[in-house]
Structure 1
Amino acid sequence: MKWIDIPPVWLLFALMVTWWIGQLQPMGWAIGGAATDLLGGLLVGGGLVLILLAAVEMRKQHTTIVPHMEADHLVSSGIFKRSRNPIYLGDTLVLAGLALRWEAPIALLLVPLFMFTITQRFIVPEENRLRVKFRAEFARYCQKTRRWV
């Protein structure tokens, strides 16, 4: 059952709820329009770029992208110089962007809930494993690089 407790499943669940909210909410609450569509598209595109850049960097460093597995290397180069969690940040941008694109602004309330859930279920345990394995190197990395942005 642990295989299902991964961030993409949580993102998919949040996206399904977002889509459902967009379908059910009164049209008076919709904020659609060209500007909202553009912003939503930029957020989704930016999120996907972050995810791709992070995946490529992790592959270059020969370490796992799977949250429950032990990392072979501490990745602090590339996009990881800007954020310790660019994949989760990318997921969050995709969620926010699709809430706008699907005209479900109420669903934007899911964004902080998603961030809290991801932080508690994945980021904190991952960082604890990295802290134990890479000690001083991880401590220096945390001082230089913020968790989200």
Structure 2
Amino acid sequence: MQALELKIPPVVLVALFALAMWVVTPWLPALALPVGWRLILAGVFAAAGAAIALAGVLAFRRANTTVDPRVPEQSSSLVVRGIYRYSRNPMYVGFLLLLMAWAFYLTSVAALALLPLFVWYMNKFQIVPEERHLLQKFGNEYQAYCKSVRRWL
């Protein structure tokens, strides 16, 4: 399973999950949401997800460090300011919220059921390997950061 670590760019993974959510939508009954609520929930989650993910990207850009999570060894600095005071992985939180928005838009119980699988995959094949590299590179500073800021929220 280690062969999957840091291999699939998270943006591609989000697209794959979005496609899978669309495919499984007919498998279970739809959420009983009126069209107005469906669009409001989708819009709110999409806006929040995009804002949080963008805040993460901008914080990395300001710190002049890589945004590509497949190469954590290229990290030039440990980003702990801005949105990173609240989450160690705001880009992934943003992606999860975007997928939630998609599930609400689809009004799909089956699509919502795939979200824990996305979190599991991200933890196992993306976040934990990134954390190993960051701990090796930044040592005690990263360890202290992990104790003070949660992985997701």
Scaled by the length of structure 2, the TM-score of the pair is: 0.89
The runs of at least 4 aligned residues of structure 1 exceeding 3 Å deviation read none
Q: Over aligned residue pairs, what C-alpha RMSD do you find?
A: 1.7
Q: Within 1, Cα distance between the matches of 2:95 and 2:40?
A: 18
2:21 matches 1:11: no
Shift of 1:37: 2.1
Deviation sequence 1:89-108 (CA, Å, 0-9, x none): 11111111110111212210
Instruction: Flag structure 2 segments of 5+ consecutive residues without an equivalent.
Output: none
103-112 or 138-147: bigger deviation: 103-112
Quote the Cα distance in structure 1 between the aligned partners of 2:87 and 2:30: 34
Partner of 1:92: 96
Percent of residue pairs identical: 31
Which TM-score applies when normalising by structure 1? 0.91
- Which 5+ residue runs of structure 1 have no aligned equivalent? none
The residue that corresponds to 1:148 in the other structure is 152
How many residue pairs match? The answer is 146
Q: Provide Cα deviations, 1:46-98, integer angstroms capped at 9, x if missing partner.
A: 00001110100000000001112121100000000000000001111111111
Bigger shift: 39-48 or 78-87? 39-48
Secondary structure class of the residue paired with 1:62: coil
In the other structure, the counterpart of 1:123 is 127
Contact 2:7 2:70 survives alignment (8 Å): no
Is 1:111 aligned to 2:112, yes or no?
A: no
Work out whether residues 32 and 101 of structure 1, in 8 Å CA contact, stay in contact via their aligned partners in 2.
no
Paired residue type of 2:86:
R
- 1:6 to partner: Cα distance: 1.2
Contact 1:31 1:105 in 2 (8 A): no
